[in-house]
Structure 1
Amino acid sequence: MKYLIWLLIVFAGIWWIRQQRQTPSDDTRDQTDKATRPGGPQVMVPCAHCGVHLPKSEAIQGTQGLYCSEAHRQRQEG
């Protein structure tokens, strides 16, 4: 009888662990993806002065290329 009780406790523990590790449903996963990636993938461009890559939407347009900051644009273009 005591082995039966231990066996039930072990099975209950395994069931509980599997429930905790189960992947979230599609609805929950979609909501999480939308929260972490608001705009999706973006095009990355290098700064013409220092070479650091940044999203194209955040780059500053100059006559000789794209820059990561106004200071780099002024320094490169004079």
Structure 2
Amino acid sequence: MKYLLLLIGLGVLFFVLGARRGRPSEPEARKPPPPAPPQAMLSCAECGMHLPADEALPGKGGVFCSAAHRTSFEARQGQA
């Protein structure tokens, strides 16, 4: 009977130690993700709104915040 209790105790001990080993430590789990690197901000040639460079749409005469602004700007430039 005492060997059975010893075997159960060792099983519980290995289970607890194994569960702890699989989880990250407390300071590592609370560490916030690194901030995103800064991006260049560009101004829309039509309305002047600032937007990140990776979201800007290139066109004739500058960069734009939307396809509608690019179309209206280029249409106006073609008339002049």
Give the TM-score band, short-chain normalised.
0.5 to 0.7
Superposed CA RMSD in Å reads 2.2
Structure 2 matches for 1:34-73, cutoff 5 A? Answer: 34=34, 37=35, 39-73=36-70
Tell me: CA distance 1:26–1:40, structure 2 relative to 1, closer, same or farther (3 Å).
Answer: farther
Quote the residue 1:33 is aligned against.
33
The two structures have a TM-score, normalised by structure 2, of 0.53
Which runs of structure 1 show a deviation greater than 4 angstroms over 4 or more consecutive aligned residues? Answer: none
AA at the equivalent of 1:52: M
Identity of aligned residues (%): 41
The two structures have a TM-score, normalised by structure 1, of 0.54
Structure whose alpha-carbon radius of gyration is higher? 2
SS of structure 1 residue aligned to 2:33: helix
Question: Which blocks of at least 5 consecutive residues in structure 2 are unaligned?
Answer: 1-26, 76-80
How far does residue 63 in structure 1 lie from its aligned partner after superposition? 1.1
Q: For the residues of structure 2 that align with 1:60 and 1:48, how far apart are their CA atoms?
A: 10
Tell me: CA distance 1:72–1:40, structure 2 relative to 1, closer, same or farther (3 Å).
Answer: same
How far does residue 33 in structure 1 lie from its aligned partner after superposition? 3.3
Tell me: CA distance 1:64–1:40, structure 2 relative to 1, closer, same or farther (3 Å).
Answer: same
